[in-house]
Each structure stands twice: as structure tokens, then as C-alpha cells.
Homo-oligomer: A and B are copies of this chain.
């Protein structure tokens, strides 16, 4: 089986053996936004045509490739949903030479009736169920961070936080950016922003501190970016863990997960960081549950 995680900005493929182990992997900066004229089939052949020629007959794909902007829409599946429910809702796309199936995203409504969506993350979450067990919390930090509660081995519900994109917009397009010099994460700045997120007062007020602390020479340009990051991540994590903690299973880039783990531990919860192959493991698990014919 070939497992493909095809997102907005990148394409990752894994050749798996019958037991779901990764035999070979490939990555390319060929996200769906870079594919012109809907030539997804051509691109798939270009990336993994040799694996297909070598005998692979099943291709399972997750991510934005199943969105309205992708190859074909795989409609959102309502929570609660786990690997078995996802496997039963795969969408077949026409392709010569192999069976190609798309993983649907998930949707959920909060108590106030506001909808939520994820696409791709459901597969990564499936990939950590082995470690997470049947109940727990998964967090996928990023531009649009997802926090999912897992119950009985299924995604029971989830919430998205715009923290990553808000950081970029505030950093790049407000007066706060003038106080910030880009650079590697500054541990002291991050810790100070994280501590500030626990103070009374709203995020919209805390943000202005990036400016005033800088004006009074109490926050350096090298610290300011990490302070802003600590402030946003701290607010997100505190809000997400407001109703209880335990162990949070983090899935994402190592550097970002380490910052989230620090924030989670500052809130009195525990963090376990998973590698970025969670998508491949999730696709293997969903693939096992799927009917391929």
C-alpha cells in the first residue's frame, strides 16, 4: 500500500509493507495549491509511478487533496468518528493502474452550534491511538491548531485555535512587529510571554505589553518575537486545558511541539511528543479497516 499525506503546501508519500511499516518515503513541495488545472493524477504518477509499476495497487490519501480545492471532495464525517468510521467513508477517485481512495475530514459542532472542521489531522490522530489509548487529548499545533478529545478510540470532538496564523498577522502587520527582530526562539522571551498569559486580563490587552515592555527597555528585540509566541501559545493551551488535563499527545514539528509541551507542563498537565510519521501510521490503520474493492 502507498500512503499519501497531500496537504496545501506539501506532498508526502510512504511505501508501506502489509504490516504498515514504512519501507520507503518521499516528500516534495507539491502541495495542492501548486498543482495547476487539476492535474493531480499526473502529479501522483510523477511522484510514485515507479512504486505503482513495482506492484503497489492501493493508494490511500489524506489531507487537503480531499477538499473542494483538491482532487475530489470527500465530505466531512461527523464526530464521533474513529478509524473504522473513517474507513467506511473513504471516497474513490478514478485513476488507472491502482485503487485510489481519499480520507474524509471530520466535522463537529460545539455546544453553541458553531461548526468545526479538520482535514488530515484525523489521520494523524489515528496514527497515535496506539500510544494514546482509547481516551485522551491530542493536539496538533500549527497555523490552525487542533485540540481533539478522544473517547472510546474515536475523535469525540475538537476545537481549532487560530494562534499560528494570528502570530504571523500580528508579527507582520501591527505595531508589535516594530519591536521584534526575527531570529531563533529566545527561551527567556518565550518563558516570559508564557508566564504573562497566566496573568489576569485578556489576550487583546496582554498583546499591547509587547509594545510597552519594549518602549521601557524591559523586553529586547531579540526576546519580543518569542514573548509574543509564548503569549499566544500560553493563552491557547490554558483555554484548551481549562476543563482538565492529563497527558496531551502532541503531533507536529519537533520545535513547535517542544514549545507546546513547555506550555502544557506550565499548566500542570503532561505532554508526549509524537513524530511526523503519525500520518503514515494513521493511513496504515485506516487502510487495514477499509474495503478496497
Most buried by B among A114, A115, A117, A166: A114
In the complex, chain B residues whose CB is within 8 Å of the CB of A110: 199, 201
A205 cross-chain contacts in B, Cβ below 8 A: 159-162, 239
Instruction: Tell me if A9 counts as interface (CB < 8 A to partner B).
Output: no
Tell me if A57 is interfacial: C-beta within 8 Å of chain B.
no
Question: Could you say which residues of chain B place their CB within 8 Å of the CB of A204?
Answer: 161-163, 166, 203, 232, 235-236, 239
Query: What 0/1 pattern do residues 155 to 172 of A give for CB contact below 8 A with B?
Result: 000011111011011101
- For residue A117, which residues in chain B have a CB less than 8 angstroms away from its CB? 212, 215
- Chain A residues numbered 192-231 whose CB sits less than 8 Å from any CB in chain B: 196, 199-205, 207-209, 212-213, 215-216, 218
Taking a contact as CB atoms closer than 8 A, the residue among B114, B196, B208 that contacts A112 in the complex is B196
**What is the count of identical protomers in the complex?**
2
Flag if B163 contacts A212 (CB, 8 Å): no
**When chains A and B are docked, how far (Å) is the Cα of A259 from the Cα of B212?**
27
Interface: A116 (CB within 8 A): yes
Q: Which residues of B contact A212 (CB under 8 A)?
A: 114-117, 160
Residues of B near A293 (CB, < 8 A) are none
B209 x A114 contact (CB < 8 A): yes
CB-CB under 8 A from A200, the residues of chain B are 111-112
A144 within 8 A of partner (CB) = yes
Q: Which of B111, B173, B213, B236 contacts A115 (CB 8 A)?
A: B213
Q: Shortest beta-carbon distance, A192 to chain B, in Å?
A: 10
Q: Are A173 and B175 in contact (CB under 8 A)?
A: no
A201 contacts B162, C-beta separation under 8 Å: no
Query: A291 within 8 Å of B by Cβ?
Result: no
Given contacts A112-B196, A208-B144, A236-B204, contact A166 B174 (CB under 8 A): yes
A-B residue pairs, 5 tightest by C-beta: A202-B239, A169-B169, A160-B208, A169-B173, A161-B204
Beyond contacts A162-B204, A202-B239: 20 other A-B pairs, Cβ-Cβ < 8 A, are A111-B200, A112-B196, A112-B199, A112-B200, A114-B196, A114-B209, A115-B212, A159-B201, A160-B208, A160-B212, A161-B204, A161-B208, A162-B170, A162-B208, A163-B204, A166-B166, A166-B207, A169-B169, A204-B232, A205-B239
Pull 26 A–B residue pairs with CB atoms less than 8 Å apart, ordered by A: A110-B199, A112-B200, A114-B209, A114-B212, A114-B213, A115-B215, A117-B212, A144-B208, A160-B205, A160-B208, A161-B202, A161-B204, A162-B205, A162-B207, A163-B204, A166-B166, A166-B170, A166-B207, A169-B173, A173-B173, A202-B203, A202-B236, A203-B203, A204-B232, A204-B236, A204-B239
